[in-house]
Amino acid sequence: MKRKLLVLWMVLSGALAQSLSLSTFGQEVKKNAPGNSRTFRFDYGATLKDLPAGARVRAWLPVPQSTDRQTVKALQQELPSAGQLHTDPVYGNRILYFELTRSASPSVAFTTSYLVRREEVRGLSSGGEQVDLTDRQRQLFLSANTLVPVTGKQLELLKGISFPQDPLAIARTLYDRVDDHVKYDKSRPGYGNGDVLWVCDSRTGNCTDFHSLFISWARAKGIPARFEIGFSLPSERGKGVISGYHCWAEFYNGQSWVPVDISEADKHPEMKQYFFGNLTENRVAFTIGRDINLVPRQSGEPLNYFLFPYVEVNGLPWPKEKIELSCAYADIEREK
């Protein structure tokens, strides 16, 4: 019955999305957006496998939210029990939580769906949204994380570099240095954790590794910097399955948050200039930060980052290989 309801919802949600006033949806983000935009449905779900009989299951899901760079509206939830929406008090991330006791089936599935309008970010030309950091925020984004130290051997890689005084120019110097030092390569075990010391030694990694090194160096230079994670979409409009995640970094220039996407610059050298201060609209952001404590508090250690469902069974973290993530997107034509 649940599957029938889900199929019916998928049909209706398409109609619902089309019935929304797409000509005005997202205008609360930027009424005079300087670049491109993209409107799409994003489905996020997973199946929990091999749950023991009678087990107590707790699950936390990240929830994308509206910012100055994207508008998000929830379309539907299909959860195995009642969900609760919470806010992480440190980073402001939104969290959907549910719990249950496993009954007949050893598998539990859930899905959420959102209507998203994502704006191209031109953080240098438009100036970005003006932000005044509180003392707490400044301290948060200058402090070390477990895998992102702000002192130590990674700073030796900056020796001999003559740094300017302006935060923007410093950030550009660090951007170039990360790109010079690290190659986008996921062939070596250990990539993807954002472990700065590992990245320094391996000189390879994925987006998490590139941007962790940038954040470490920026903070060491007194520039607040933060980690943002979500999913990238193919540039071609259409629909399809999302097979992997994407992340980027932002630094504070004294007035606003400026994005950098160094791993994309490394993969596409012709866009290196663009990805300092700019982001394409082909993405959706879910959360920010590292060393994340959830709400309600998890029994396990703080999360390195929060994008995938986090699940505990009988008080212990459930293995990632037993959580089958399923994400998909479908572009929606805007009214002319």
pLDDT given for residue 69 in this prediction: 95
Cβ proximity of 100 and 108 under 8 Å: yes
Q: Determine the pLDDT at residue 191.
A: 98
Tell me 256's DSSP state: S
pLDDT score at 103: 86
Higher pLDDT, 4 or 74: 74
d(CA 100, CA 108): 10
Determine the average pLDDT of the residues in 254-272.
97
Question: In the predicted model, what is the mean pLDDT of residues 238-245?
Answer: 96
Contact 130, 288 (CB under 8 A): no
Dihedral (Cα; 307, 308, 310, 313), 10-degree rounding: 180
At 126 the pLDDT is: 64
**Mean pLDDT confidence for 256-273:** 98
The amino acid at 210: F
Average pLDDT over residues 310-329: 98
121/12: higher pLDDT: 121
| pLDDT score for 5 | 36
Helices 167-181, 207-220: crossing angle, 10 deg rounding: 140
Give SS3 for 12: helix
**CB neighbour class for 9 (10 Å; exposed up to 12, middle 13-18, buried from 19):** middle
Give the pLDDT band (50/70/90) at residue 30.
very low
Extract the tokens encoding 66.
């509206």
- For the chain, the farthest-separated pair of C-alpha atoms sits apart, in whole angstroms, at 66
* Residue 158 and residue 300 in contact, taking contact as beta carbons nearer than 8 Å: no
pLDDT at 35: 79
> What tens digit of pLDDT does each residue of 193-211 get?
999 999 999 999 999 999 9
Give the whole-number percent of the chain exceeding pLDDT 90: 85
20 secondary structure, DSSP code: S
Fold assignment, 123-280: C8orf32 fold (3.10.620)
User: In the prediction, which pLDDT does 127 show?
Assistant: 62
Instruction: Please tell me whether residue 107 adopts helix, strand or coil conformation.
Output: coil
CA gap 51, 111 in Å, rounded:
18
pTM tops 0.75: yes
Q: Please tell me the distance from the alpha carbon of residue 262 to that of residue 247, in angstroms, as a whole number.
A: 10
Mean pLDDT rounded to a whole number for the chain = 91
Predicted confidence at residue 334, as pLDDT, reads 62
From residue 70, how far is each of 22, 42, 301 by CA, in Å?
14, 13, 30
pLDDT for residue 121: 95
Instruction: Please say if the pLDDT value at position 298 is more than 80.
Output: yes
Amino acid at 329: Y
Measured over the CA atoms of residue 96, residue 60, residue 29 and residue 242, the dihedral's sign is negative
How many C-beta atoms surround the C-beta of residue 231 within 10 A?
A: 21
Verify cis geometry, omega within 30 degrees of 0, for the bond prior to 296: yes
21: left (phi over 0), alpha (psi -120 to 50) or beta: beta
For 242-257, how does the pLDDT look when each residue is reduced to its tens digit (9 = 90+)?
989 999 999 999 999 9
Output 235-241 pairs: Cβ under 8 A, ≥24 positions apart: 235/280, 235/282, 237/38, 237/331, 238/330, 238/331, 239/328, 239/329, 239/330, 239/331, 240/328, 240/329, 241/326, 241/327, 241/328
pLDDT digits (tens, 9 = 90+) for 31-85: 444 579 999 999 999 999 999 999 999 999 999 999 999 999 999 999 999 999 9
Q: Is the pLDDT of residue 13 over 60?
A: no
Per residue in 213-236, pLDDT (tens digit) is: 999 999 999 999 999 999 999 999
**Predicted local confidence at residue 333, as pLDDT:** 77
Q: Decide if 100 contacts 51 (C-beta within 8 A).
A: no
